[in-house]
Amino acid sequence: MREKLVAVMLACASAQASAQYNPSAAVNAPKERVVERYKDDKTGEERTRTIEREVAKDQWGNATGNKYDLAVDGAFDGQTVAVLHFYTGEGFDFSLPKAALKEKGFNVVRWLNNPPTPKELASSLKKSNQLWVISDCFSRHLTDEHVAEIKKFFDAGHGVYIWGDNEPYYADANYLGEALLGATMKGDLRGDQVVTLMKEPGKHGLLRKHLLTTGLEFLYEGITIATIQPSPTQMLSPLLYGSADNLVAAFYDKDGRRAIFDGGFTRLYNKWDTAGTARYVKNAAAWLANAERFPVKLATP
């Protein structure tokens, strides 16, 4: 009964969600229609015709321009992304993702190195659109009480992005990932490559034709990465396989709930200008906003 109710709610909201999304949503290599003039070979008359052509690409091969992101600029004006930012080494100050998210209207509220109390976290999550958790190494920062509050938030349909990285930078990622998704990550692989769209299942590449990969044909995998481990419950769907054919990122999208589990948080600050990172971050936040379930009214220009 609950599943049917959620399905009806999502169906009713899906049309409204399109207001947040650009027309090219879920298209990796968008094309544009243009009218061109030509001379008829037989009559010599000037005529016009409409043709499709590839849009302009950046140096990495991805479509140029914010209109090829998943979300319309400003679509989530006033919405808040809460960030539990536990790893802050190497100058990682979250300024680059914050600027990218601002383009879509998201504000960022961030806790550095340590979380607030469970009560304070619960209060903040009531005002937040989604939660991102960036793990640290060795010891956990989250308690059972924190996880319980995050699970309530997730179960209510609000997005959660869980970021880890190479061993041992996944202490909280695994703790929270197992509690919410039955998922863990481990290992330490040197990545530092740009991957293209997936050509065959389980091989290096990015998932095709999904909202998360809108406007992306190439994506930087991160400099050092962990590998998501096979889960007996198979709750996650593959999103990004790294250059070593290891599963770097996967997502959950069931019963009106969404989450991403990712073993490459170095993408958030290392070689930011390499293929697709800013667009991916914006797409991820727009997707986790779950506009199909929680439509956001677009601000009047």
DSSP the chain: -HHHHHHHHHHHHHHHHTTTB-TTTT-SS-EEEEEEEEE-TTT--EEEEEEEEEPPB-TTSSBPSGGGSSBPTTTTTT-EEEEEE----TT--SHHHHHHHHHTT-EEEEEESS---HHHHHHHHTT-SEEEEE--SSS----HHHHHHHHHHHHTT-EEEEE--STTTTHHHHHHHHHHHS--EEEEEE---EEEB-SSTTSSEE-SS-GGGTT-SEEE--SEEEEEPP-TT---EEEEE-TTS-EEEEEEEETTEEEEEES-GGGGTTTTTSTTHHHHHHHHHHHHTTTTTS--PPPP-
Q: Which domain holds residue 140?
A: 67-288
198 neighbors 188 (Cβ within 8 angstroms): no
Q: Is residue 109 situated within a structural domain?
A: yes
**Does residue 295 lie within any of the structural domains?**
no
Query: Is residue 229, in this structure, part of any structural domain at all?
Result: yes
CB proximity list for 138: less than 8 A, separation 6 or greater: 168, 171
The whole-number pLDDT of residue 50 equals 85
**At CA 25, angle to CA 24 and CA 29, rounded to 5?**
55
pLDDT at 232: 66
Assigned token pair, 78: 């006033």
Query: Residue with structure tokens 């034709």?
Result: 209
Length of the chain: 301
Domain count, the chain: 1
- What's the rounded Cα separation, in Å, for the pair 11 and 9? 5
Strand partners, 259: 160, 252
Which CATH number goes with the domain that contains 244? Answer: 3.40.50.880
pLDDT tens for the 301 residues of the chain, in order: 444 444 444 444 444 556 899 999 999 999 998 887 888 888 888 888 888 889 999 999 999 999 999 999 999 999 999 999 999 999 999 999 999 999 999 999 999 999 999 999 999 999 999 999 999 998 899 999 999 999 999 999 999 999 999 999 999 999 999 999 999 999 999 999 999 999 998 899 999 999 999 999 999 999 999 999 987 667 899 999 999 999 999 999 999 999 999 999 999 999 999 999 999 999 999 999 999 999 886 555 4
